[in-house]
Structure 1
Amino acid sequence: MVRFKNRWILVEFLSASDAEPTTELSSQAIFQALRQSVITHFGDTGWGAVGSSMSVKYFSPTTNLCIIRVGRDPHKIAWGAVCLLADVDGRVVIPNVVHVSGTIKHAQLAAIEHNRAVIARYRARAKTPAAYRDSYEEFLETSTREITTLQD
């Protein structure tokens, strides 16, 4: 019996404009945009390679952080498709690949650390003291719980 090996791609979707987004991103919209990007740039052969193994396992609308699972062999096709994404459901985005990992555990740790860094930037912009308890603290607790409960 052979084990199916995966790669986990941690992506942050940055908004290309400072204006308020007209549509909110979702896991399904990201998957459809990735599917279209793979087909457009790598053809049906590329989609055939990654289509059966690719899935969006986690998405946070607050930090626009996404964890994508894809098979180990065709992971570079998915990575390329992520980098070539121009818009998701009509919303112009800039994908930023934060981390690529061979295990879900390392992707989870990178996602938690990235969430903490993003929240620290939000707090620095708001000029709040470090010990100040706000809604971001609750978000960090719930997102950490959600991320750690992800299963392969």
Structure 2
Amino acid sequence: MVRYKNRYITVELLATIPENKPLKLKSKVLHDTLLDKIQHMHGDFGAAAVRNGFLTKYCNENTRIAILRSRHGPHQFVTSTIPFITKIGGLPITLRTLHVGATMKHSFKFILKHQRSYLDKMWSKLKTDEERRDLEKAVMDFTKTDVSINIDNIG
């Protein structure tokens, strides 16, 4: 039996929509847009290499962060295509690669650290403790995933 190595690519979705509004984007639309762009840039070989094992594992509308899974090797086709995405589902969006890791656990650790720094930056702009709690609840919510992960076990 052969073990297939995967790479988990953490991307940030940068949109022109204000940050306090959630992004209405389904993970299937993101997945299909990336596959179409890979087909366009790398041809049939790139699309066929990536298609097997390519999956959008996590997509959060509030934090605008997604995790893509690809096989080790063809993940380079995915990472080279990400900067050229300009529209997803009719929305003008730019993708920025934040992290490439070997496991989901390390990707979620990175997201946790990234979200903490985002919270520190945004808390100074909020006036009440209730607004701060609501923001923390929305940002640190990992339940909008296709995988269930216990955040307490990360660390």
- Shorter-chain TM band: 0.7 to 0.9
What is the RMSD computed on CA atoms of the aligned residues? 2.8
Which residue in 2 is equivalent to 1:77?
Answer: 77
- Equivalent pairs counted in the alignment come to 148
Query: CA separation of 1:124/1:44 partners in 2, compared to 1, >3 Å: closer, same or farther?
Result: farther
Which residue in 1 is equivalent to 2:153?
Answer: none
Counterparts of residues 3-152 of structure 1 (less than 5 Å): 3-16=3-16, 24-126=24-126, 133-143=132-142, 149=149
Larger deviation: 109-118 or 138-147? 138-147
Query: CA separation of 1:133/1:19 partners in 2, compared to 1, >3 Å: closer, same or farther?
Result: closer
Q: TM-score, normalised by structure 2?
A: 0.82
Q: TM-score, normalised by structure 1?
A: 0.83
Any unmatched runs of 5+ in structure 1? none
Secondary structure class of the residue paired with 1:99: strand
Any unmatched runs of 5+ in structure 2? 151-155
Displacement of 1:63:
1.1
Question: In structure 1, how many angstroms separate the alpha carbons of the residues matched to 2:86 and 2:132?
Answer: 36
Query: CA separation of 1:124/1:96 partners in 2, compared to 1, >3 Å: closer, same or farther?
Result: farther
